[in-house]
Structures are given as C-alpha cells and as structure tokens.
Amino acid sequence: MLHNNIDRFRRGLVLLFMLLIPVAFDNSVAESSGDARWYMLHWTALILTAGYLFQKNGPLRIPAIVLIIAFLLALAAESMAWSVNLYKSWWSLKHATGYAVLFWFVYVLRGGLWWRALLWTVAWGAGFNAALGIAQANGIVLFGNYFEQSCVPAGTLVNKNLLGSYLVVTLPAVLCLMISSRRWMARISAGAVLAAGVIALIYVHSIASWIAALIAGFFLIAWSFRSRRVVVVAVICMAVICVVFVGTKKMKQSEIRYAFNLNGLAIVKDHPQGGVGLGAFKTIYGFYRNAIIDTPAGGFSKTTQPSRIHNDLMQAFVELGVAGGLTYIAIFVVLIAMAWRVGTAMSMCLISGVIGLGINSLMDFPLQLPMAPITLSVFAGIITGLYVNKMGARLWNIPRYIYALLAMLAIVGGLFIFQDDWNRRVGSQCLRASMSLCLDGDKERALANLEQSFDYYPWNSRLYEYAVISK
C-alpha cells in the first residue's frame, strides 16, 4: 500500500513539474529562462529518487536505451576528472542527471492515462508559449512584461530560435491528442493549441526550426504510408530542403557557425578520448578560435565569446569525446527504432517531434537549455514504456540495498545541491544587478555588486567574464 502511494505521489509530482516548467521564469538573475527551470529539475529529480527509501524488492524490465543513457551519464561524470572548467561540468552534470532521472520515472511509472495527462501538460506549455510569442510578435504586452525577452517572439524562452525548437518537439504530441481524443472539447482544445503553435512557428522566422518541422512532417507522412519507397522519397526531399534553406541563410551568421564547427573538429582531434569536459566548450574555444579557420569578430572577441557551438551533436563530441558523441547518436537511433516497432499513433507522433528536435539541434543549441531536453526526456520515457509494454525487455533483479543507497544519496546529496543552487541564485541576482548598473554607466556600484556576487557564489564562471568586461 505504501509503495502504491509513493508511486501516486511521484506521478503527481511529475505532472506538477510539467505544469509549472513552461512558465518558470526568474528575471532577477542573469539566466532568467534557464536557472529557475534547472533548479526545479534538480529538486524534482531528488525527491523522486528519495522515494526509493520505501521501495520493495522486485524485478525491473531494463531495455537497451536505459543502459545507453546510463553510459552517457557515466561519461559525463567521468569527464569531470579532466575538465578544463570543473564548475561548468558540475553545473551541467546536475542537469544531465535530472534529465536522466525524469526519463527513468516517466518510463517505470508507465500507464496510458498518466501518459496522456503528461501530454496534456506538454500541450499546455506549447499553447501558453505560442500565445505569448504571438503577442510579443505583435507588440502586445502581457503580464506586465514580466517575461521580457532578448529576441522576440520567444514566449518564456528568451530567444526566438529556442521557442521554435520547443514548438517543433511539442506540436506533434499536440497533434496526437487532437486525433486520438474522443471528446470533442478535447479535440477543439488541442486543435487550437496546434493552430497557435503553427502561427508562432511562422512568426519566429527560424530557418533551423522550419527545416526541422518539415522533416518531422515528412517522417509522419512516410509512416502513415508504411512504405519504404515513401521513406526514401521523403529523405531525398528533406535533403533538398536542407540544402536550399542552408544555402539561402545569411552568410555572416553562417560563417561564424561554420568556424565554430570546423574549429570544434580541431578540439575533438586533440581530445578524442574524453573530450574537454561537459559544459566546458566556452572555456576551451578561445585557444582554438583560429585552429582551422579564423573565427569572425562577431563570433569571438573580448565581449563576445561563444557558450555553444550551435550544433549540439558537435558539442557532444567536443565535450565528451568520440565515445560521448557516438552514444549521443545512439540514443536517437534506438528511440527511432523502438517507436517504429511500436507503430502506434502516439509513438510515431512523439518520435517525429524527437526527430525534429534532433535535426534542429544540428543547427542550433536547443539541448543546451532546459525546455527542449525536459520534453525530450518525457517523450523518451513514454516511447520506452510503449516499447516494453509491447515487446518486453530483460528482467533485472535489483537488490533492496541498491534502492536504499540511491535514496540516501538523494537525501544527503540533495541537501548539498539545494544549498549550492540557492547560493548560486543569490549570487546571480547580484550579478544581474551589476550587469544593469554597468550598462547605466555606474561602474562603482557595478563592481560592488560583483564583489557581493563573489562572496555568495565564487564558482559562477559568468561572474569572472562580466568582471573583466565591466572593468
């Protein structure tokens, strides 16, 4: 009975998390769209894991995708041993662990009605951000401009490209709800969200997101025909569309990203075994900025340094080495194979969103900020559960002490992580204030706030970057 109550609590907690995460935003810190969501992810993952204190012995079905994700997480943790930026690796490892834990519990708590409830929380997030993005594109101020963005329309995601990638991964799930719901009110609601999402996707004017959306659509069409010939034609069409769109992209921006990717190859060549450490690309890139071709001034200078390659696959190779990059690819391949074997409308709609996100991530950095990978984790958990329900998987007997050990690690480690996150937030608030004062020309107060930020949390690498700029 206690075990069942724990599982009900976990399902409710995940639903609550997915309801709140689309609107989580903290404009008092420098990373207004990311930090609040990452903190919520860390704490949710810790609470879910702490419930293992009451877990009974029993076999678990563990398919290959679980082992692949665990291996990638192990590579990420191992990379801290030689990371060129230990704090960034620690910060990124907390996120990666949170995504893995979320995936795991969406899978093991599997149930058709609960999964549909999860998809409705995804639809809510897509609808809210799409509506907010449309309003921003038309100059309509909502919520007192609390969700102020650097590049509109962005919803609550700061950057319009990130809104585009979020819509690419979520809209196929909304389509699934629209075509599979029995109640007309549910169909109308899902249809309204889908329409708003398509309009917002047009407004964002992100070529990468448009390409990704078209490829996801082609995949759904190919599946509906269940014909290899249609799949081949779809692949050819996708290739042509990619060439046309990429070829017409603004040259200046393309040159910068081209430099990031080519010089990234030089980093992989020098660090093939374990990479430079999870999250450490920004720290190392300055040494390689002219390794193969010169990075244009708009991509690297005293005040402009790239935090991301704008190609998440290449970033995986750079930060985790060849093994990490190949494991990253394997996750997407195995998910596609599982969804195709399941062959239901839900599995194919979800995997089309995952494919769209994967394509988008080759031209941008949606997986470097929380909304897209959180959604990916949920979809991967549902696809894995659908696959195991249909095809089965090997049973593993997990000893009771393993559950107890995981629970104790979550409880004891959680106290440290909560304190670490809280100190970082307070320090980031001082940093944000310093940034604003610096822009206003008040350097004396800006430096005072930087010193205060350092006192609260000296490990934030952004603190040192802005300290140099402000001086």
Segment 36-70, tens digit of pLDDT: 999 999 999 999 999 887 776 678 899 999 999 99
pLDDT band for position 458 (cuts 50, 70, 90): confident
pLDDT band for position 253 (cuts 50, 70, 90): low
| Non-local CB neighbours of 49 within 8 Å, separated by 6+ positions | 101, 406, 407, 409, 410
**Per-residue pLDDT at 176:** 94
- Between CA 267 and CA 259 the distance in angstroms is 12
**Per-residue pLDDT at 465:** 65
- Between CA 471 and CA 463 the distance in angstroms is 12
Residue for token pair 């670490």? 420
Closest by CA position to 345, among listed 220, 225, 190, 467 = 220
Backbone angles phi, psi at 24, to 5 degrees: -70, 120
- Between CA 127 and CA 119 the distance in angstroms is 12
Query: What residues pair up with 344 in beta bridges, in sequence order?
Result: none
Q: For the chain, what percentages of helix, strand and coil (3-state, to nearest 5) are there?
A: 75, 0, 20
Q: How far is CA 127 from the centre of its chain?
A: 18
**Per-residue pLDDT at 130:** 97
Q: How many CB atoms lie within 10 A of CB 19?
A: 14
Dihedral of CA 204/18/45/66: which sign?
Answer: negative
String of DSSP letters for 291-360: SSSPPPTTTSSSS---S--S-HHHHHHHHHHHHHHHHHHHHHHHHHHHHHHH--HHHHHHHHHHHHHHHH
DSSP code, position 58: E
Cis peptide before 272 (omega within 30 of 0): no
Average predicted confidence (pLDDT) for the chain:
88
pTM of the model: 0.93
Backbone angles phi, psi at 395, to 5 degrees: -85, 130
Dihedral of CA 73/74/78/79: which sign?
Answer: negative
**Per-residue pLDDT at 250:** 47
> Could you give the C-alpha distances from 191 to 113, 124, 184, in angstroms and in order?
20, 12, 10
Residue 252 has pLDDT above 80, yes or no: no
- Going by their DSSP bridges, the two strands 395-398 and 58-61 should be labelled as antiparallel
**Per-residue pLDDT at 152:** 85
Average pLDDT estimate for 123-127: 97
Residue for token pair 């402000």? 470
User: Where is 241: in which H helix or E strand?
Assistant: helix 228-247
Q: How far is CA 95 from the centre of its chain?
A: 9
Q: What is the pLDDT of residues 386-440, one digit of tens each?
A: 999 999 888 888 888 888 899 999 999 999 999 999 999 999 998 888 888 887 7
